[in-house]
Each structure stands twice: as structure tokens, then as C-alpha cells.
């Protein structure tokens, strides 16, 4: 079966167009949020490790240039996830801290699941970084249940 097939894998029945459109909208929404989630999660890590998160450190960790970080921080500030002092540190708002905590929780569940499947830690870490943004709560709960099995 190819990626552009409009049938479901489990039943091979045609998928309703509105269901498919809804799925595409969810994926697009997840992609839009992925970068913001990565920044918020990184800011929380930097604050935990160094007591602060400076734009230069964010740029270094993300592997991007300062103007890219500035643009991302502007978006995060508009969304109420951060506050910042010009040329100084970035701070998470309560909303930002809650998002960072949720991202970390999702990441840890996916990571444990992948390791439980037998992936090495390095590959599991890299893959978890992408998967955490795109997995539904229902699937995440199944990942967690599987990972918690002894």
C-alpha cells in the first residue's frame, strides 16, 4: 500500500474524505507546534542546568543563528510562553513551564517505549525527539503501558 492510498490499513476500506482531512489538519497543527515545544523544552533544560537561558545558548543548542532564535522567541512571547529581558535571559511563564513539563513527560514515555522495544539509547533518544510531537494521547497511553510492563 502506498502513502497516498485513501484506504485504512487495518480494513482496506476507503477512508472517508472528512476523516482524512481531519488527520491532515492534526498533522499540520502538530508540525506548527513542534518547534515551539522544542524551544520551550530547551529553555527549561537550560534554566535547570545553568540557572538561566540566554538566546546565545539557545542558538548553540539548536544549531541555528541568533536571528532565528530571536524570531522564535518573539513567537513564544506572543503566545504567552516566555518573558525576556532584552540582551539577557529568557524566562518561562507558568504556561510555558506547564508546556515544558508536558513535553518532557511525553518524551520520557516515548523514550522508555523505544528502549523497551530494544533500541539502543542513542537511537531511541533521537527518534523520541520527533515522535513525541506527533503521537496521540491514546497512543501515548499504550506506549506507557507497554514500557511499564516487566
Q: pLDDT by residue (tens digit) across 66-75?
A: 999 999 999 9
**Alpha helices of the chain — where are they, by DSSP H?**
17-50, 55-62, 66-78, 94-117, 121-131, 137-148
As a CATH number, domain 19-148 is: 1.10.10.10
> Hey, how many other C-beta atoms are within 10 angstroms of the C-beta on 56?
11
Q: What is the rounded distance in angstroms from the CA atom of residue 150 to the CA atom of residue 144?
A: 12
pLDDT given for residue 4 in this prediction: 38
Q: What is the rounded distance in angstroms from the CA atom of residue 96 to the CA atom of residue 124?
A: 26
Q: What is the rounded distance in angstroms from the CA atom of residue 22 to the CA atom of residue 11?
A: 19
Q: What is the rounded distance in angstroms from the CA atom of residue 41 to the CA atom of residue 2?
A: 35
One digit per residue, the tens of pLDDT, for the chain of length 150 reads 333 334 444 555 666 667 767 765 665 555 568 889 999 999 999 999 999 999 999 999 999 999 999 999 999 999 999 999 877 899 999 999 999 999 999 999 999 999 999 999 999 999 999 899 888 999 999 999 999 995
Q: What residue segments make up the domains of the chain, in order of their start?
A: 19-148
83: Cβ–Cβ under 8 A, 6 or more apart, which residues? 77, 90, 91, 93
Question: What is the model's pTM?
Answer: 0.75
Q: Are 111 and 125 in contact (CB under 8 A)?
A: yes
Amino acid at each position: 500500500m502506498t502513502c497516498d492510498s485513501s484506504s485504512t490499513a487495518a480494513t482496506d476500506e476507503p477512508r472517508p474524505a472528512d476523516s482524512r482531512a481531519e488527520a491532515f489538519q492534526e498533522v499540520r497543527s502538530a508540525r506548527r507546534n513542534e518547534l515551539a515545544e522544542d524551544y520551550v523544552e530547551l529553555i527549561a533544560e537550560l534554566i535547570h542546568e545553568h540557572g538561566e537561558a540566554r538566546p546565545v545558548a539557545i542558538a548553540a543548542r539548536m544549531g541555528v543563528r541568533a536571528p532565528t532564535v530571536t524570531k522564535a522567541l518573539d513567537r513564544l512571547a506572543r503566545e504567552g510562553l516566555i518573558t525576556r529581558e532584552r540582551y539577557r535571559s529568557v524566562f518561562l511563564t507558568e504556561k510555558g513551564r506547564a508546556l515544558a513539563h508536558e513535553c518532557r513527560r511525553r518524551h520520557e514515555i516515548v523514550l522508555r517505549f523505544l528502549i523497551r522495544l530494544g533500541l539502543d539509547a542513542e537511537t531511541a533518544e533521537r527518534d523520541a525527539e520527533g515522535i513525541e510531537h506527533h503521537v496521540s494521547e491514546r497512543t501515548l497511553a499504550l506506549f506507557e503501558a507497554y514500557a511499564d510492563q516487566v
